[in-house]
Structure 1
Amino acid sequence: MILRPLYTRLDETVVEEIPFRAGDGTRLGLTRVGTGRGDRPAVLLLHGHTASSDMFLQPETRNLVDVLLDEGYEPWLLDWRGSCRLPYNETGRRYTYDDVALYDIPAAVAYIRQQIGDRPLFAVAHCIGALSLSMSMTAGLVPGLAGVVAQGVFLTPKLAARTSLKMTMAGELFRSRFDHIPVDFRKVGFWSRYTPLFALASKGASCPDPTCQILSNSAWCVGASLFVHENLSDATHERLAQLLGPAPLWILPHLRRVALARSVVRWNQGDDRYRALPENALDQAGRIDCPVLLVSGSENGMWLDSQKLCHEVLAARQPQLDVRYEEIPGYGHFDTFVGRGAALDVFGHILDFLDAHA
């Protein structure tokens, strides 16, 4: 299996692509970006579902990896099994977020620890990467992290009512015909079976680009928005189909269960292989053993105010935890990492948190 190459301008001498498998043997992608110095705190970067490590490395802006390197950190990038860099991402190979929490993230943390020794290890996670990480943490599978930054969502997922409804409808209406909802109209063509989906996504859209419509205006036809359009550079806008891949429809039942519970809940209830994971991660939040920074854009059209809710719930239920909440004015969801001004508006909050706990 060959991963799609990273779209990066970094010197190849500092990028190490590591042959890596999850705890269940699934081939993943793990990349270390180093400088030859062995005294830097490490930061594991976790992308969202259908995205990839490219979201932290985009060359058209000052990206998060650039900033971390300049500020004395060693980035490690995990392409977990929901990455669009992995060739099996569009084949219908099925999994749930339980697999990510149980097999992908703990294996990556264990491997990095073997390489860095007793240096501090942080995690910065986006969207479903953060949601899955919350399950790993409350299961006690990644103990001893120096700190976690969770963007967009963490322990208390909250979707708009219309998004939940459309997610249910899409799952029931489309799953018999499609495995995935594509995002690149140039690949599927005008006369494909996906054309009605793109037409639906275009309703009320201000941007003429079909890929932007199905992401920004509709979030894979569930009626949400993944970013504030004005925050993207032209180059990033042009590469949306590379930054975000097709969305698998077979994952929707787990996502619906999570959204209805307003908590990260285990999907595989009757399978002994997953007994290490809590049935409800929020009920086990007391097992979190490191500081947490919850980040969200004020205009998050996907997860709404999930992070604010999470901060309030944890403050009430687990006041002993070190949890902060930072809201970024004028930002949505995905643009908190890929927006053209993210280095100025967002990354400083992440660095302040890392520096305080390194």
Structure 2
Amino acid sequence: MGPQRSIPQYTLDGVRGADVSTYRYRTEDGLELSLLRFCRQPCDDVVLVVSGLTTSSDMFIMPEHRNLVSFLLDNGFTDVWTADVRFSNRHPYNTQGRRDTLDEVARYDFAPALELIARTTGVDAVHVIAHCLGSTAIMMAVFGQVDGVAGRVRSIVANSVGLTPRVPLWSRIKLAVAPVILEDLLGLRWIGPKWSEQPLCSRGGFIARLIGLFHPECDTSACHMLSLMWGSGHPALYRHENLHPVTHERSADLYGPTGFSYYRHVAKMVR
């Protein structure tokens, strides 16, 4: 039996007063990906929102907040789409042993999504709001002149990072060391915030409990694992005093697992 949730993992209840549709598309290299559309009425200023690595559309439609999609809809951008590319937590690809990097995301994932949006709405170019490595990937696609991308993007708001990631020293160390230890030496194919749900005798379960010893700031194992996976700090991603307790409780649902090839690619970028 899974953990008890106060909010269902993939809920759409965070957006009110909009028609919600799911669109699926296939990439040139054969993956099925998806878009969510939140439409109050057609408009010329269509917005596409892109999440970071291991998160998903769910980051922008959380019912416990006045979320980004609702804010856009309330402020004149009445046709908002969210993209779940290959590294989204709504897809299984991060745990399948694939060797994808941001190159594949940039090369394959955005062009068919933008073509689908244009075909559906009749609007040729969209505004993009992208977060973290989603920002890096869409910027790579635009600046790399990927067919079907650059001409369909009117503007980009890139949150946290753009083309050139800059990370603290401790993050550089983790990027260099963690894939070697976890993948090369221990034989793990991916890392994820739900490792504590595995038995203590498993590699993931043991690592999650070990990491918890270094994070006395809370008793949520997923939060501890996220501090290992991303950034520097206690915790790495946020200050607890600024975080809604329900969001903290949902951290294992909002952030998913990832394979190590993405870490290796980012490590190359920051060197």
TM-score by length of 2: 0.86
Q: Which runs of 4+ in 1 moved over 3 A?
A: 10-13
Q: Secondary structure at the match of 1:106?
A: helix
Q: Out of 39, 55, 64, which is 1:51 matched to?
A: 55
Q: Deviations over 1:31-65 (max 9, x none)?
A: 11112x22241111100001111000111111001
Matches within 5 A, 1:1-358: 6-9=10-13, 10=15, 14-35=19-40, 37-73=41-77, 74-118=79-123, 121-141=126-146, 142-144=149-151, 145-176=153-184, 177-198=187-208, 199-215=210-226, 217-219=227-229, 223=232, 225-260=236-271
Are the equivalent residues in 2 in contact too, given 1:175–1:250 (CA < 8 A)?
A: no
Alpha carbons of structure 1 residues 21 and 208: separation in structure 2 relative to 1, 3 Å: same
CA distance in 2, matches of 1:178, 1:239: 25
Cα drift, residue 250 of structure 1: 2.8
What do the CA deviations read for 1:114-164 (whole angstroms, capped 9, x no partner)?
A: 222246510000001000011111112322422110011002211112211
Q: Secondary structure at the match of 1:136?
A: helix
Contact 1:175–1:249, Cα closer than 8 Å, also in 2: yes
Are the aligned partners of 2:200 and 2:206 in contact in 1 as well (CA < 8 Å)? Answer: no
Q: Is the 8 A contact 1:22 1:104 kept in 2?
A: yes
How far has the Cα of 1:192 moved from its partner? 2.3
1:76-134 Cα deviation digits (max 9, x unpaired): 11100001111333222331111110110122122212222246510000001000011
Contact 2:87 2:258 in 1 (8 A): no
- 1:231 is displaced (CA, Å) by 1.7
Instruction: Confirm or deny: 8 A CA contact 1:178 1:249 kept in the other structure.
Output: no
Deviations 1:237-273 (A, max 9, x none): 110001001131232221110111xxxxxxxxxxxxx
> Contact between 2:27 and 2:108, CA under 8 Å: does it hold in 1?
yes
**What is the CA–CA distance in structure 2 between the aligned matches of 1:75 and 1:201, rounded to whole Å?**
38
Tell me how large the CA RMSD over aligned residues is: 2.2
Q: Secondary structure at the match of 2:222?
A: helix
Question: Between Structure 1 and Structure 2, how many residues are aligned?
Answer: 254
Please report how far the alpha carbon of residue 72 of structure 1 lies from its aligned counterpart in structure 2 after TM superposition: 1.9
Residues 40, 119 of structure 1: 8 Å contact kept: no
Structure 2: 5+ residue runs without aligned partners? 1-7
Amino acid in structure 1 at the alignment position of 2:197: K
Shift of 1:187: 2.5
Q: 1:27 deviation in Å?
A: 0.6
Distance 1:87 1:38 in 2: 32
Asked if the contact 1:166–1:223 (Cα under 8 Å) also holds between the matched residues in 2, the reply is no
Residues 204-243 of structure 1: per-residue CA shift (max 9 Å, x gap): 441121111121x4335x7451222222111101100010
The Cα of 1:22 is off from its aligned counterpart by 2.0
Seen in structure 2, the aligned counterparts of structure 1 residues 186 and 201 have a Cα distance that, compared at 3 Å, is closer
Give, as a single letter, the amino acid of the residue that structure 1 aligns with 2:129: V
